Amino acid sequence: MKIAIAGKGGVGKTTLGGMMARYLAEEGYKVLTIDADPDANLASALGFPKELVEGVTPLAARTPLIEERTGAKKGTFGGVFKLNPKVDDLPDTYSVTHHGVKLLILGTVPQAEGGCFCPENVLLKGLLHHILVRRDEMVIIDMEAGLEHLTRGSTKYVDAFIIVVEPGQRSIATAQQIRRLAQDLRVQKVYGVGNKLTSAEDRVLIEEALSGVEFLGHLSFNHNVIEADRKGISPYDLDGAIRGEVKGIIERLQREGFA
């Protein structure tokens, strides 16, 4: 199953995606996570040790690899390059693995439409397509905030979208926009997850504002999430209550046939 996580900046996309990946790996799933946010920080939400990711160059910044695979030559902008570069070895070669979770840091969101017609975009687009269509594992894509990158090209083969929303009108407005966009893009299934809830009213606020969206579950506001962030570790390793909430979300996905 291929899942993309979207929502306004700061709502908790990375936190949720990281914890879902950890839970799925513990359950024995093969899990590949993709950090498609230029401001990459999925590694710490997954609980990867700093040393493991410090030296990792995002794929978008691997110029020699991009040139090798596409045949593009530096300084020949606008020149000819391969449109179907070899990518099938990249997920295994360039990912890092910890706690059974594979992480691939892209450094950008590949775009089919709108994005630049340049070698790095062509390579990353081909890579994303390969991962979504050919790889048989749980794929979780942690997306950049904002809507510009949500194109048919970047979402076509995603099975389900999870829109994260927190109790607040700004995040709700963004979630409503994403839902409309996802429908226009014909994303198969759109789910919601509420985050940072402090009361039953928060839950009602969110679910009523997004009526028609199925909610997989909610995460409570949790000081240990902030504490984990401060320590640079995963909240998954710090808090049993939030692990329980994540479990509920995955079990719901399983009942829906998405895991």
Q: Which residues lie near ligand ADP (CB under 6 A)?
A: 7, 9-15, 145, 195-196, 219, 221-222, 225-226, 229
Least distance CB 240 / Mg ion (angstroms): 24
Q: Which two tokens stand for residue 171?
A: 């995040």
Least distance CB 77 / ligand ADP (angstroms): 33
- Residue 151 is a binding residue for Mg ion (CB under 5 A): no
- Residue 44 is a binding residue for Mg ion (CB under 5 A): no
Smaller CB distance to Mg ion: residue 14 or 174?
Answer: 14
- Cα dihedral 97, 190, 150, 218 sign: negative
Least distance CB 37 / Mg ion (angstroms): 5
- Residue 111 is a binding residue for Mg ion (CB under 5 A): no
Residue nearest to Mg ion (CB): 14
Find which of Mg ion, ligand ADP, none residue 12 binds, CB within 5 to 8 Å per kind. ligand ADP
Piece of 5-13, 57-65, 156-164, 233-241 that binds Mg ion (CB under 5 A): 5-13
Least distance CB 226 / ligand ADP (angstroms): 5
Least distance CB 186 / Mg ion (angstroms): 25
Binder to Mg ion among 2, 8, 11, 14 (CB under 5 A)? 14
- Residue 234 is a binding residue for Mg ion (CB under 5 A): no
Contact present, 16 and 164 (Cβ < 8 Å): yes
Piece of 7-15, 150-158, 181-189, 215-223 that binds Mg ion (CB under 5 A): 7-15
Least distance CB 87 / ligand ADP (angstroms): 26
The string of DSSP codes covering the chain is -EEEEE-STTSSHHHHHHHHHHHHHHTT--EEEEEE-SS--HHHHHT--HHHHHTPPPGGG-HHHHHHHH---TT-TT----SS---TTHHHHS-EEETTEEEEE-SS---SSSS--SHHHHHHHHHHHHHHHH--SEEEEEEPSSSTT--HHHHTT-SEEEEEE-SSHHHHHHHHHHHHHHHHTT-SEEEEEEEEE-SHHHHHHHHHHTTTSEEEEEEE--HHHHHHHHHTS-GGGT-HHHHHHHHHHHHHHHHTT--
Smaller CB distance to ligand ADP: residue 159 or 229?
Answer: 229
Q: What residue ranges bind Mg ion (CB under 5 A)?
A: 13-14
